[in-house]
């Protein structure tokens, strides 16, 4: 049985000392492919380096993360766009995040919309991060809905209403990670109630959001198997069926094959 981790920051310093071992454990766990999102200018080198080190296994995405949007966002985006080559599978990690601060609220909105326009122009899917800004994010996506090729609403943790609002974008899927395994998470009830299996993909967001039973440890791609197990239980299907469905979704939305 094989499956895909669609969102993992393997280029981060957290993996600098043991990346080879992390990749080995991922392969042994059944991880057939890994999506590596960019977040800033530094990522232009680190993401591509990791993906070149593990070709046809690690797949690059490039974008400006909302928490990295500052006053110089236009110049930063120029450099990121210039680095997008045919090997890049998605624009991301992009979006809106008002959780910590609204200092650059206007700049975040403008930078996100610009990168949404790239997705239309280049016909690349979006890898979208959104915290405390779903209304604003949905409004922008609606403007470009008919021309966007699709994408992933990364790290979905919302309620049924929020899920249904995102599912209106029929070329997009929800990225589900370690939160689904947490004791207080409502995702095991929310997802089967309103989200069909053909609208989810698996992710770890490593090194963050470590699933049960590995809470407290650094997250890594191999642990996506725990997310798969919990979702199979929630949907009442076998792990093999859930793996196959999410693999199909990865192929359709991100063009990653397991």
The structure tokens 């405390």 sit at: 132
Biggest CA-to-CA distance, the chain: 49
The whole-number pLDDT of residue 93 equals: 98
Q: What is the total count of domains within the chain? A: 1
Give residues with Cβ within 8 angstroms of 125, minimum separation 6: 89, 90, 91, 119, 149, 150, 151, 152, 253, 254
pLDDT at 257 over 90: no
Cis peptide bond N-terminal to 79, omega within 30: no
Q: Domain with 60 in it: what CATH number?
A: 3.20.20.140
Q: Where are the alpha helices (DSSP H) in 103-186?
A: 105-122, 134-144, 160-167
Q: Using 50, 70 and 90 to split pLDDT, how confident is the model at 153?
A: very high
Contact criterion met (CB below 8 Å) for 127 and 7: yes
The whole-number pLDDT of residue 157 equals: 96
Mean pLDDT of 246-250: 98
pLDDT in tens, 179-210: 999 999 999 999 999 999 999 999 999 999 99
pLDDT at 170 over 90: yes
Mean pLDDT of 4-26: 98
The whole-number pLDDT of residue 100 equals: 83
Q: Using 50, 70 and 90 to split pLDDT, how confident is the model at 258?
A: confident
Mean pLDDT of 35-57: 97
Q: Output the pTM of the full model.
A: 0.97
Nearest residue to 206 via CA among 43, 27, 34: 34
SS3 65: coil
Between 104 and 230, residue with greater pLDDT: 230
- Tell me the residue range of the domain where 225 lies: 3-254
Nearest residue to 165 via CA among 137, 202, 189: 137
Q: Where are the alpha helices (DSSP H) in the chain?
A: 19-29, 43-53, 73-82, 105-122, 134-144, 160-167, 187-194, 224-235, 239-254
């Amino acid at each position: 049985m094989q499956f895909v981790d669609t969102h993992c920051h393997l280029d981060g310093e957290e993996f600098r000392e043991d990346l080879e071992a992390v990749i080995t454990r991922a392969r042994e766990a059944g991880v057939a492919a890994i999506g590596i999102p960019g977040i800033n200018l530094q990522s232009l080198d680190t993401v591509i380096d990791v993906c070149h080190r593990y070709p046809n296994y690690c797949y690059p995405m490039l974008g400006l993360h909302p928490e990295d949007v500052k006053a110089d966002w236009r110049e930063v985006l120029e450099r990121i766009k210039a680095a997008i080559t045919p090997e890049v599978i998605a624009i991301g990690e992009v979006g809106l995040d008002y959780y910590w601060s609204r200092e650059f609220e206007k700049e975040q909105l403008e930078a996100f919309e610009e990168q949404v326009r790239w997705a239309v122009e280049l016909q690349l899917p979006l890898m979208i991060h959104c915290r405390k800004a779903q209304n604003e994010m949905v409004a922008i996506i609606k403007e470009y809905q008919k021309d966007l090729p699709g994408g992933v609403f990364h790290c979905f943790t919302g309620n049924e209403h929020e899920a249904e609002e995102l599912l209106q974008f029929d070329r997009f899927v929800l990225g589900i990670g370690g939160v689904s395994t947490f004791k207080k998470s409502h995702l095991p009830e929310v997802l089967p109630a309103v989200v069909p299996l053909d609208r989810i993909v698996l992710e770890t967001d490593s090194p963050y959001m470590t699933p049960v039973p590995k809470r407290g440890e650094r997250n890594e791609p191999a642990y996506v198997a725990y997310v798969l197990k919990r979702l199979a239980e929630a949907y009442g299907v076998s792990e093999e069926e859930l793996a196959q469905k999410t693999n199909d979704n990865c192929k359709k939305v991100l063009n990653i094959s397991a």
